[in-house]
Structure 1
Amino acid sequence: MTDPVSPVLDLAAGLSPRIQGIRTSQIGLVADRGRDDPDVVKLWIGEGDLPTPDFIVEAAHRAMRAGHTRYVTSLGLPRLREALSAYHARHWGVDVPAERFAVTVGGMNAIMQAAQALLEPGDEIVMPSPGWPNLAEAVRVTGGVPVTVPYRVGPDGRFSLPLEDIAAAITPRTRVVMVNSPSNPTGWIMPRAEMIALRDLARARGLWLLADEVYAHFNYGDGLTPSFLQICTEDDRLIVANTFSKNWAMTGWRAGWLIFPRGLGPVFAKLGQYNTTSIPTFVQHAAVAALDEGDGFIRETVARCAESRAILVDGLTRLPGVTAAAPDGAFYLMARLSEGERSLDLAFRLLSEAKVGVAPGTAFGPEGEGFVRMCFAISPALAREAVSRLSAVLGGR
């Protein structure tokens, strides 16, 4: 007798092909095996180990007690949008009026709204690879086609992305070029001169630029990472996505923002309304506190990351066969740890043998094969423990 087909499978077969095609995160595959093990040093997720600062938590508590628990405008509280405007003026010296900001449910929702606004089915979006997998999947959900441009990798493990490689990937179907600088997972930072050249190329071709500037403060060179806001006008086809998650240890708060060209407020008000209505009102009050009072916390976090970065790079590059260049930005180390072993297999092996959780490089695209990604937004002590455990497993080969 033939077993009846599972009703669940029948229902899945009836879903949109776009949704059926959403890929399973390899980071999740590894994390699911060890997320509940307290002995694992967890470096797989893009999340620091610091708690949200007390002044942000207290601002949320005050807002809740004051009754700020009701609906607000989908673009966000006016006070928060003014605080975002002041934050960008303070750090990047740009004058972006409050009416060009939309508050979103984290950076992911900012990317999703941008994709919804810009892409029709079949439209292409050019993006670097390896790249954060959520970017490409947001494009696929909206019917767009991600066209990846591989980073070049030097003998020392440093990543680069020449502008000519981006330009070569543009076709008549290209609608958007996406840049994530500093990059997750490579730590690459786009030089300002190349940003200007890309802006000029986008203007000449009538293309949109989608800039993911989430890690802008995490720059281990001189000063802040340049922003496209510094070189573009309010009429350029530019959308900038950002989040409160990384700067202020607010990953679980789900608060982010996007910046759009002049005059598109009504468009993003509707997208916000029909995606989520708005983020919780008391979270928006906490976000104001983060912006207004949190610059010192950012500086301390970046300095802590720089120390842990140095520990990981110095310790791992002493091991045989390991190639890992200190990333210029973000808080990830993309390291080649093994030749001939699949990245996913290596991640599972390190979890089992070293009790260190890493993200397989192929989670970020096929160009990541042979690499693993480690988040170093952790304490220096934990970074040393990770190096010790990895050395015990990889040092004798």
Structure 2
Amino acid sequence: MTRLQSSLTAPLVGAPHARDAVRALRPSQIREVANAGFGNPDVLPFWFGESDRATPRFIRDAACAALAAGDTFYTHNLGIAPLREAIARHVSAWHGPTDAGDVAVTSAGVNALMLASQLVVGAGDRVVAVTPLWPNIVEMPKILGACVETVSLEYGASGWQLDVDRLIGALTPDTRLVIINSPNNPSGWVMPPEQQQAVLDHCRRHGIWILADEVYERLYYGDVHEDVCAPSFLDLASRDERVICVNSFSKAYLMTGWRLGWLVAPASLMDDLAKLIEYNTSCAPAFVQQAGIAALGDDGQTPRTLVRELRASRDHLVAALRALPGIDAASPPGAMYVSFSMPGAKQSLALCKALVREAGLGLAPGSAFGPEGEGFVRWCYACDVARIDAGMARLKEFLESHR
């Protein structure tokens, strides 16, 4: 019998499938709810984390001009020098001296998060994450074979809060990395500077890496005016410490579809980071990077305008939610979401599917952000108040019909 004949008659060993670590990843429940409503024009979607406003024209024009000029070739793995320099100036203005050599441009914030994980996490490493949290961040280290443990925020009369002593207690000397997202998705919680300092001091003593997801830092309502920035680990740490901060153009500059982000990390990591970028995406598109330069060049007007609009939408939504019986909603200090409890939310995935099916209302289930989010649903308020009112009318009718 020939080798070919032998292979054709050999018993099957089962269908081909991905490796176990990938198969064990949890699918996005936000997508699961959204898939139930896609294609239905009558559904009002508040499930995804993006504004309903288009990218400002001057940013789009910069990309169009770059395309027209033929700027369609590969760039340096870490990004074009003018964009890295613009990001460094931006970071320096908010968080202290930062050099372009501390900055890498990435193909979206989520790509930056994965690259950061690949830089410092390997199989068997212990990772701690503050939750509830955007599921992508929790699952990324698992792809690399790491073990992820969680410390949950607690919800009370003043909204979502962190017991920092409990977090520090979980950061044992064998911990490789702690992941903190502030301002937080889904809760809008913002980590105060004194807690950041306590965590930084502890991680310094034990050589623990900090991965700070700060993509919502400009969407912060901690002051009466709009030109503010949330507290950052970059305010406290020197640039050569075990701190990696991830940011993105998606939220503050209304560029979700552009897939452009950056990270600030020790310069000693950059050569290895360039290799990882080469093996992931090679580089961010050149014309998209030109759009990023334009976004940072308007003296912060886009984030200021956006925050003013988001503050009005947040206040309107929270007031409307609090007027409905059975709903507990706290006003978040950052990001673009309200996570609130309501009747039926202890099975939030089933509830959100029912809201789509029966009310044409698209919200994100709290369980999408881990078991710590169960009992809540998330509403993205990055839209005008008229759209919020239309959604509230549907929510009110749904609650009355299920009373």
Same fold (TM over 0.5): yes
CA distance in 1, matches of 2:84, 2:21: 34
Aligned counterpart, 1:72? 75
1:57 matches 2:65 = no
Question: Is this contact kept in 2: 1:157–1:335, CA < 8 A?
Answer: no
1:144-223 equivalences in 2 (<5 Å): 144-154=146-156, 156=157, 158-222=159-223, 223=228
CA distance in 2, matches of 1:246, 1:55: 17
Distance change in 2, residues 1:50/1:9 (3 Å): farther
Distance change in 2, residues 1:331/1:133 (3 Å): same
What letter is aligned with 2:387?
A: L
In the TM superposition, residue 105 of structure 1 has moved relative to its aligned partner by 1.0
1:312-391 equivalences in 2 (<5 Å): 312-339=317-344, 341-391=346-396
Aligned counterpart, 1:84? 87
Question: Is this contact kept in 1: 2:106–2:283, CA < 8 A?
Answer: yes
1:270 matches 2:275 = yes
**Structure 1 vs Structure 2: percent identity of aligned residues?**
42
CA distance in 2, matches of 1:114, 1:141: 13
In the TM superposition, residue 9 of structure 1 has moved relative to its aligned partner by 6.7
One of 296, 303, 306 as aligned partner of 1:298: 303
Question: Is this contact kept in 1: 2:345–2:377, CA < 8 A?
Answer: no
In the TM superposition, residue 299 of structure 1 has moved relative to its aligned partner by 0.9
1:20 matches 2:23 = yes
Distance change in 2, residues 1:9/1:377 (3 Å): farther
What letter is aligned with 1:54?
A: R
What letter is aligned with 1:381?
A: A
Larger of the two Rg values belongs to structure: 2
In the TM superposition, residue 46 of structure 1 has moved relative to its aligned partner by 0.6
Aligned counterpart, 1:37? 40
Question: Is this contact kept in 1: 2:345–2:351, CA < 8 A?
Answer: no
CA distance in 1, matches of 2:250, 2:14: 36
Aligned counterpart, 1:258? 263
Question: Is this contact kept in 1: 2:328–2:340, CA < 8 A?
Answer: yes
CA distance in 1, matches of 2:345, 2:182: 30
Deviations 1:132-182 (A, max 9, x none): 10001111111112111011111x371101211111222343101111110
SS of corresponding position for 1:279: coil
TM-score by length of 1: 0.94
What letter is aligned with 1:44?
A: W
| Aligned residues: CA RMSD | 1.5
CA distance in 2, matches of 1:99, 1:93: 16
CA distance in 1, matches of 2:299, 2:268: 30
Can you give the 5+ residue segments of structure 2 that lack an aligned partner in the other structure? 1-11
CA distance in 1, matches of 2:62, 2:231: 30
In the TM superposition, residue 73 of structure 1 has moved relative to its aligned partner by 0.6
What letter is aligned with 1:359?
A: A
TM-score by length of 2: 0.93
Aligned counterpart, 2:135? 133
CA distance in 2, matches of 1:273, 1:262: 17
What letter is aligned with 1:50?
A: R
SS of corresponding position for 1:11: coil
Aligned counterpart, 1:235? 240
In the TM superposition, residue 320 of structure 1 has moved relative to its aligned partner by 1.1
